[in-house]
Amino acid sequence: MNATIEKLLNDQVKFEANASMQYLSMASWADANGYNGVAEFFYLQSEEERVHMIKLVKFINERSGKVIVPEIDKPQENYTSLNELFETFLKSEMFVTEQINHVIYECLQHKEYNVHNFMQWYVTEQLEEEAVARTLLDKLTIIGNDKSGHYLFDRDINTIASVNQNPE
Ligand code: FEO
């Protein structure tokens, strides 16, 4: 595998690992603050990001590349509101999308068409995750500071999120 592409895929392993730990931290904050539905949502997101990470690790190995298991950045621990929590979620997903687009651009420059093909799965995944984050943030903007609205949001988060989730 081209060395630049191998490095970019290893960077992506780190970004997915960081996202997994960030969402674990968010789940834990929600759990501690009485938002059990939001907590379950982020525990699951954290698992999903771990799956994204492992998929990359296996792919690099399959292609006889060298996997560098990364050091993980310390995630943000405290949030002032549900709004801030979901703004952080959207920002994190937008960052990952940007990085994936960069990998795809470089794959074309280096004629790494197999990797380009493999990365298409991540493009689809990012579209869905960004849409979920935007939908949830839009709902929170409508709710504003209404406590009973937050209660219902926490109760119904999976139904709200499922509007954008692939039924597969
Ligand atoms: Fe795997 Fe949502 O980044």
Confidence of residue 166 (pLDDT cuts 50, 70, 90): low
Burial level of 82, CB count in 10 A (0-12/13-18/19+)? buried
Three-state helix/strand/coil letters over 37-55: HHHHHHHHHHHHHHHHHHH
Contact (Cβ atoms closer than 8 angstroms) between residue 43 and residue 21:
no
Nearest ligand 1 atom to the CA of 126 is 2
Q: Check pLDDT > 70 for residue 165.
A: no
Is any atom of ligand 1 closer than 6 Å to the C-beta of 6?
A: no
Fold of 3-67+87-165: Ferritin (1.20.1260)
Nearest ligand 1 atom to the CA of 53 is 1
**111 secondary structure, DSSP code:** T
Is any atom of ligand 1 closer than 6 Å to the C-beta of 19?
A: yes
pLDDT digits (tens, 9 = 90+) for 81-134: 999 999 999 999 999 999 999 999 999 999 999 999 999 999 999 999 999 999
Long-range pairs, 106-112, Cβ under 8 A, ≥24: 106/4, 106/5, 106/8, 107/5, 110/2, 110/4, 110/5, 112/1, 112/2, 112/5
pLDDT digits (tens, 9 = 90+) for 23-72: 999 999 999 999 999 999 999 999 999 999 999 999 999 999 999 999 99
Nearest ligand 1 atom to the CA of 49 is 1
Other CB atoms within a 10 A radius of the CB of residue 73 amount to 12
Please state, in angstroms and rounded to a whole number, the distance separating the CA atoms of residues 44 and 63: 29
Q: Check pLDDT > 70 for residue 167.
A: no
pTM across the whole model: 0.94
Confidence of residue 162 (pLDDT cuts 50, 70, 90): confident
